């Protein structure tokens, strides 16, 4: 077995309070668009194509994240490419996603307390926050949602769709299948491949989402046992704002 087919270990949920208490030493690395990126790294802004309000038609990540995405993509076998589905998110998009999932949880688990509903929701969507000391991971530009495709642009079978909220979305879920079918065996190998190249490139993975990886932010710092994060909340600067700042210089 080579490093591209390593078993994905089941891991517990992060200690969110301790995670959000980690200090941030902002690196000021800029956001960069992925629209001009060439094979073997592709971008497909999933929320824009799904019609999510205020979703961007372009995927953005911090520059240091892009370099690591390139590294991960170049580790993939010939014929398989890395697809970025989402990176930096506006606060309004984070709010919409959180509110939508919280409402679904509330409708199904009507007897749960608000704190229980919050815990169920945050396994898949972080509460919206652009607070300097505790931002939502995707608002830092350090979180990416990724998948794999072939050279024709067809997604490989990862076991669930992106943003699925079933137990099968946990990264290690299929590792527990004792006698996998042919299809399940393919899913296991695809997840191992994605997980392996992203970890080799320096990312960490959110255990509840096979597609979610972090670099530089508080989630990454917690999982990698770093004493501090490098990436805090960041915003795309509109042209009008940039011009006003430059005129004032």
**pLDDT for 148-203, tens place per residue?**
999 999 999 999 999 999 999 999 999 999 999 999 999 999 999 999 999 999 99
pLDDT in tens, 55-72: 999 999 999 999 999 999
Q: Which has the closest alpha carbon to 162: 84, 232, 233?
A: 84
Q: Sheet holding 143-150: strands in order across? A: 41-43, 80-86, 143-150, 212-214, 204-205
Q: What is the pTM of this model?
A: 0.94
CA distance 237 to 27: 17
Q: Is 138 annotated as a binding residue?
A: yes
Preceding amide of 75 cis, omega within 30: no
pLDDT greater at residue 36 or residue 138? 138
CB atoms within 10 A of CB 236: 13
DSSP 152: T
List, by residue number, the catalytic residues: 209
Least confident of 25-29, 65-69, 119-123, 160-164: 119-123
Alpha-carbon dihedral sign for residues 154, 159, 165, 171: negative
Task: Check the annotation: does 28 bind a ligand.
Answer: no
Percent of the chain with pLDDT over 90: 86
The CATH code of domain 3-247 reads 3.30.1380.10
Look at 40 and 217; give whichever has higher pLDDT. Answer: 217
pLDDT in tens, 64-109: 999 999 999 999 999 999 999 999 999 999 999 999 999 999 999 9
pLDDT at position 121 is 93
DSSP conformation class of 229: B
Q: What is the pLDDT averaged over residues 121-138?
A: 95
pLDDT of residue 2: 63
């Amino acid at each position: 077995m080579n490093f591209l087919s390593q078993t994905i270990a089941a891991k517990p949920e992060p200690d969110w309070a301790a995670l959000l208490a980690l200090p941030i030493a902002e690196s000021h690395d800029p956001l960069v668009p992925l629209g001009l990126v060439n094979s073997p790294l592709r971008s497909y802004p999933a929320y824009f194509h799904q019609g999510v309000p205020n979703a961007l038609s372009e995927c953005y990540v911090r520059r240091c994240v892009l370099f690591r995405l390139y590294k991960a993509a170049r580790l993939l076998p010939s014929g398989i490419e890395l697809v970025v589905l989402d990176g930096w998110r506006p606060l309004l998009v984070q709010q919409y996603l959180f509110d939508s999932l919280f409402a679904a949880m509330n409708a199904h688990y009507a007897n749960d307390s608000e704190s229980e509903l919050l815990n169920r929701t945050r396994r898949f969507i972080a509460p919206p926050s652009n607070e300097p000391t505790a931002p939502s991971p995707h608002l830092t530009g350090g979180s990416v949602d990724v998948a794999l495709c072939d050279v024709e642009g067809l997604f490989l079978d990862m076991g669930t769709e992106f943003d699925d909220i079933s137990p099968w979305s946990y990264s290690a879920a299929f590792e527990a299948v004792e006698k996998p079918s042919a299809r399940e065996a393919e899913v296991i190998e695809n997840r191992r491949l994605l997980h392996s190249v992203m970890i080799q490139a320096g990312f960490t993975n959110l255990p509840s989402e096979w597609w979610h990886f972090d670099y530089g932010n508080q989630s990454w710092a917690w999982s990698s046992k770093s004493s501090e994060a490098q990436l805090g909340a960041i915003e795309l600067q509109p042209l009008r704002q940039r011009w006003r700042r430059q005129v004032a210089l």
